[in-house]
Amino acid sequence: MNFIETRGNDGRRPSSVSFSQAILGPMSSFGGIYVPEALPALGVSFLRAHLDSDYKTLARAVLAAFELDIDQAVIDRALDLYDGFDDPAHPVPVVRVRDDLFVAELYHGPTRAFKDMALQPFGLILSSLAQERDEHYLILAATSGDTGPATLETFKGRANVKVACLYPDGGTSDVQRLQMVTEDAANLKVIGIHGDFDDAQSALKSLLSSDSFQAALRERHTHLSAANSVNFGRIIFQQIYHIHSYLELVRQGAIAIGDKVYLNVPSGNFGNALGGYYAMKMGLPVEKILISSNSNNVLTGLIRTGVYDMRGRKVIATSSPAMDILKSSNVERVLFDLFGAQRTRELMAELDENRVYRLTGEELASLQAVFAADYAEDAEVEVYIGETFRNHGYLMDPHTATCFKAHVSCRDKPLPGILYSTAEWTKFSPTIAHALTGETDSQDIDALKSISAAANTPIPPMIEALFDRPVAQSTVIDKQDIEREVLAFI
């Protein structure tokens, strides 16, 4: 299958590219991104055929339907990385928390956040392609906490790929910082920036547009790629777990094949939600996809009113930092699917120029046929965490908790909801400790210990070990020194 461009073709780039081209160079004409030319139809017969499949078998079948230009042996090795999750037979447990509320836990990988679901196999595939072509790639990442650890972990020691990861010094949790600064492979560079996440991100952007930087990369025969979810190489793996979770509900006797469910996604850059949208388009019986946000509720506004409005808004720091985003990249892929390339280009240009775009009434209706949305503020999130633990014995993180609001406010039919849990409680422990016991910890280690005691659950070994691992990455610099630092590294 080939991939085409969300904003149309500029006449200089190829009008369609293969999967491997789309992941090695993810940016397309007019600042657009790549989407599949068509989606395979899987339908109810596919679901029936995979009722008893394990996760990897299901994944192989979904990927086969996309007819990717990747060797089967490489795909198999990539999927084998799910064997490194807590329970190799069940990398994504689906837990019934109460009658109609199921939580699909996407965080059982090495860095305890759902980024591993896609980044683990993606890293192996990108490195294999680079080796096959005898090319060298640099991945630049700016992270507020979860993308960084998962990107470093997947590329650690992999050939032909280097990663430079920028994070705001003091702007991540202790666990997230330790996950980054204790990574010691020669192909990884972690750089703390004096400033906040916006500073790290804008530093990355100016680096990408710097002529001297581009020239230096050419001199070193190094190509740039990206590991964020504009890269379709991540999205391809994010459709599978939606289908898997649906089949889990069938296996648990909660629904019959063909019955509809709600998918409920804590959303930031909309990659997770887009995976659900594509799964639905391929035939998964979904009533609606519920988009859950925190106080950075631009998506709630878009889906309720048809206006994407960033005017006068600044990112608000919340207890669910992976969703502290105003410009949500993957919405563009939905716009393309619903309204076509011309209109997508128009809307994205409006957003760039005026920080706002408006859908027509008809366009809004087609968006609302698929999506509904709500958001939860930090205080509500803490109540959901505390109540769900006390009443149902279930421990969850703040990102997951935002979904509990939409589960009540957005379902207009009494159908089960699958809520996606995107991080383990260990990654945002001070918020959870406060919700459980009222204590205010400034250090993650204190919060981890008290949650572990209160919930009678062990701290997972890879989190506990972090606090004893030597720091291998100690660079903390000012924004203007980044270019020199990255070039010295490569």
Ligand X SMILES: *Cc1c(COP(=O)(O)O)cnc(C)c1O
- Span near ligand X by CB under 6 A; candidates 56-64, 268-276, 298-306, 472-480: 268-276
Of the ranges 126-134, 161-169, 271-279, 384-392, which one interacts with ligand X (CB under 6 A)?
271-279
Binding span for ligand X by CB under 6 A among 166-174, 205-213, 266-274, 449-457? 266-274
Residues in 431-490 that interact with ligand X by CB under 6 A: none
Among 151, 154, 229, 295, binds ligand X (CB under 6 A): 229
Residue 189 Ramachandran class (φ > 0 left, ψ -120 to 50 alpha, else beta): beta
115 vs 434, which CB is nearer to ligand X?
115
The residue among 168 and 271 lying less far from ligand X, judged by its C-beta, is 271
Please list every residue from 311 through 330 that binds ligand X, using CB under 6 A: 322-323
Query: What count of other Cβ atoms lies within 10 Å of the Cβ of residue 273?
Result: 29
How far CA 199 is from CA of 147, 244, 314, 315, 477, in Å, comes to 16, 38, 13, 12, 12
Q: Which residue, 233 or 268, is less far from ligand X as judged by CB?
A: 268
Distance (Å, whole) CA 237 – CA 395: 26
Q: Are 323 and 296 in contact (CB under 8 A)?
A: yes
Q: Does 92 bind ligand X (CB under 6 A)?
A: no
Which of residues 271, 276, 416, 430 is near ligand X by CB under 6 A? 271
Distances (CA, A) of 146 to 153, 329, 370, 376, 425: 11, 17, 28, 20, 13
**Residues 392 to 421 in contact with ligand X, rule: CB under 6 A:** 399
**Number of shown-chain residues binding ligand X (CB under 6 A):** 18
Element (H, E) at 375: strand 371-375
**Residue number with CB closer to ligand X (28 or 421):** 421
- CB 49 to ligand X: min, Å: 28
For helices 298-305 and 361-368, angle between their N-to-C axes, nearest 10 degrees: 110
CB of 23 to ligand X, least distance (A): 17
Residue 236 engages ligand X in binding (rule: CB under 6 A):
no
Cross-strand pairs, 191: 166, 475
To ligand X, the closest distance from the beta carbon of 273 in angstroms equals 6
Using rule CB under 6 A, residue 272 touches ligand X: yes
Q: How far is CA 405 from CA 29, 224, 408, in A?
A: 39, 40, 6
CB of 271 to ligand X, least distance (A): 3
- Shortest approach of ligand X to residue 202 CB, angstroms? 19
CB-CB contact of 292 with 266 (8 Å): yes
Out of 36, 121, 149, 268, name the contact with ligand X by CB under 6 A: 268
At closest approach, how far in Å is the CB of 483 from ligand X? 27
Nearer to ligand X, 203 or 289 (CB): 289
Sequence-separated (6 or more) residues with CB below 8 Å from residue 319: 294, 378, 381, 382, 398, 428, 431
Which own/partner pairs from 152-155 qualify as long-range (CB within 8 Å, at least 24 positions apart)? 152/179, 152/180, 152/183, 152/188, 152/190, 153/110, 153/111, 153/116, 153/119, 153/120, 153/179, 153/183, 154/116, 154/119, 154/120, 154/122, 154/123, 154/124, 155/123, 155/126, 155/127, 155/187, 155/188, 155/227
96-115 residues near ligand X, rule: CB under 6 A? 113-115
What minimum distance in Å lies between the beta carbon of 485 and ligand X? 26
Pairing relationship of beta strands 222-225 and 417-421 according to DSSP bridges: unpaired
Q: Least distance in Å: CB of 218 to ligand X?
A: 31
Stretch of 41-49, 82-90, 269-277, 448-456 contacting ligand X, by CB under 6 A: 269-277
Exposure of 181 by Cβ count < 10 A (0-12 exposed, 13-18 middle, 19+ buried)?
buried
Q: How far apart are CA 324 and CA 97, in angstroms?
A: 26
Question: Minimum Å distance from CB 404 to ligand X?
Answer: 14
CA 28, 275, 86, 456 dihedral sign is positive
- Our CB check for ligand X shows the closer of 5 and 116 to be 116
CA dihedral of 418, 424, 429, 431, whole degrees rounded to 10: -20
The interface mask with ligand X, positions 286-315, x = CB under 6 A, is ------------------------------
H-type alpha helices, 229-308:
232-235, 240-251, 271-281, 298-305
Q: Kindly tell me which of 255 and 265 has the beta carbon lying closer to ligand X.
A: 265
Name the residue nearer to ligand X (CB basis): 114 or 262: 114
422 binds ligand X (CB under 6 A): yes
* 267 interacts with ligand X by CB under 6 A: yes
Options 128-136, 159-167, 267-275, 344-352: segment touching ligand X (CB under 6 A): 267-275
Closest CB to ligand X among residues 129, 433 = 433
Kindly tell me which of 144 and 225 has the beta carbon lying closer to ligand X: 144
d(CA 109, CA 157): 18
Find the binder of ligand X among 116, 146, 183, 444 (CB under 6 A). Answer: 146
Question: Which residues are at the interface with ligand X (CB under 6 A)?
Answer: 113-115, 146, 229, 266-273, 322-323, 399, 422-423
